[in-house]
Structure 1
């Protein structure tokens, strides 16, 4: 029983990290109605910014305090992601208002390649360490309840907690604030939102800023686990099944989809892997997403699209 719970908890923690990345897709889609192919590049760019500035700031300021260096590096990275969001709206999205979804999709693809190139030019292409003080050692818990206890990775636990808090904050933002309601209105119909006085440009800047902060937090967490490297841009591919399951328009769907994918991957690896061969953790999520596309393409919480003719 303890082994099953260890696997289950590990899956839930991984699922929260997937949800964090998937939120970036959901945020952009809710505001612009387009799937953001640049999300993985944003995670990478943010992680590289955090990693490099946490190295550069102590050298520039002669600082020995790691905590303060990380705080300053985080603040600088937040500012950079805000500038990136403003430039994307000013130079790209502003000129594509009311265009077809395919046009906006290609625009995000171009943004992804641009961020990859700029990130490599400015920050370098090596593997960089991100050390924000997250605990690395595992710990035994519930030893009095289960024989031998449950082994928990403290880093995964802290990362899952941070992800959960950010997800909660974003849910409240979308559901309870005037800006969140404006974001949903813009996603439904750009022209109608503009006709009632909602400034489309400002809304897009806000949502890209929020998506940038989400990408930064995801980049820091994944970078702390794997190092800030260009393979981080592929993390977004692991979040694709999450948004398919949860629905492209649902923040709660991104959460539940991430938990389902995380738990499904871990349980399938442990209990089905010996029978079907290795690597099931890699393709299980995509097979589950394929099933959803066949029978419920809008996802668990996505809005069903009905075209009237």
Structure 2
């Protein structure tokens, strides 16, 4: 039983890492209806910028602040140059624009910082600690605490502030929001800036876990089942989806992996997402689309 709990809790803590990437998608999707496929490239760009500054002798906190400024500038530039000119275009056009943007951001990162692999140390070791007889990863606990703090901060921002009220209004009906004086461009710029900050936090945690390399941008693929299960328009859904994906993939690897020669955690989340699409297409917390004819 203790081994089962260790695997389950370890999976839940790992799932929080997936949720961090998924939250960036949710923020932009709620405000503009755009599925930002470039979020993975933004995660990579943030981690690569931060570790490159550290290697050049910049102090840790100054490197963090400089990287944050770079990510905010990148997010605002993307909103201004890419999203704003494509307002009222079809969803597939917006999706293809962000897909192309992902390659542009990756290419720019390669041009700016090079292609070598970097190690990233945040001062948090990945050694296990004992808690009531269970062995838990210290790094996973730190990542979970960071994600919980970030979600609390976002919840306060979007539920307790005037900006949050405007964001919810834009998410419900952009045209009506525009009619009552809400500036859509300002809301979109703020949301993209917040998504850039989320990308920075996710980039640092994933970079410390996997190393800072260009395959880091592929973490976006693991966020897809998280979004499908939790719903594309809910921050709480992103958290729930990440926990479900993290727990089920670890349990499947341990208890079902021996029957299929292992490696099941690489594809099991997509099977689970497919089942959700068949049974509940909007996800656990997503808004069901209602079409009137």
Instruction: Normalising by structure 1, report the TM-score.
Output: 0.92
Aligned to 2:64: 74
Task: Answer yes or no: is the 8 Å Cα contact 1:19–1:258 preserved in 2.
Answer: yes
Deviations 1:165-215 (A, max 9, x none): 112221232222221222222233333222211111111111111111111
Identify the residue that residue 145 of structure 1 maps to in structure 2. Answer: none
Query: Could you say which residue in structure 2 is the equivalent of 1:84?
Result: 74
Structure 1 unaligned blocks of 5 or more: 59-68, 143-148
- What secondary structure, in the 3-state scheme, does the structure 2 residue paired with 1:111 have? helix
Q: Does 1:98 align with 2:88?
A: yes
Q: Distance in 1 between matches of 2:83 and 2:20?
A: 24
Of the two, which has the highest radius of gyration? 1
Q: What TM-score does the superposition give when structure 2 sets the normalisation length?
A: 0.97
Structural mapping, 1:212-291, within 5 Å: 212-291=196-275
**Structure-1 separation of matches of 2:282 and 2:80:** 31
Counterpart CA distance in 2 for 1:249 and 1:124 is 36
CA deviation vs aligned residue, 1:251-282 (integer Å, no higher than 9, x gap)? 11111111011000111111111223311111
Number of equivalences: 293
Does structure 2 conserve the Cα–Cα contact (< 8 Å) formed by 1:23 and 1:214?
yes
Structure 2: gaps spanning 5 or more residues: none
Partner residue, 1:56? 56
Over aligned residues, Cα RMSD in angstroms? 1.2
Given the alignment, which residue of 169, 181, 195 partners 2:179? Answer: 195
Specify the alignment match of 1:154 in structure 2: 138
Match for residue 28 of structure 1?
Answer: 28
Q: Which portions of structure 1, spanning 4 or more consecutive aligned residues, are displaced by more than 6 angstroms?
A: none
Any idea what SS the aligned residue of 1:92 has?
helix
> Compared with structure 1, are the counterparts of its residues 4 and 80 closer, same or farther at alpha carbon in structure 2 (3 Å cutoff)?
same
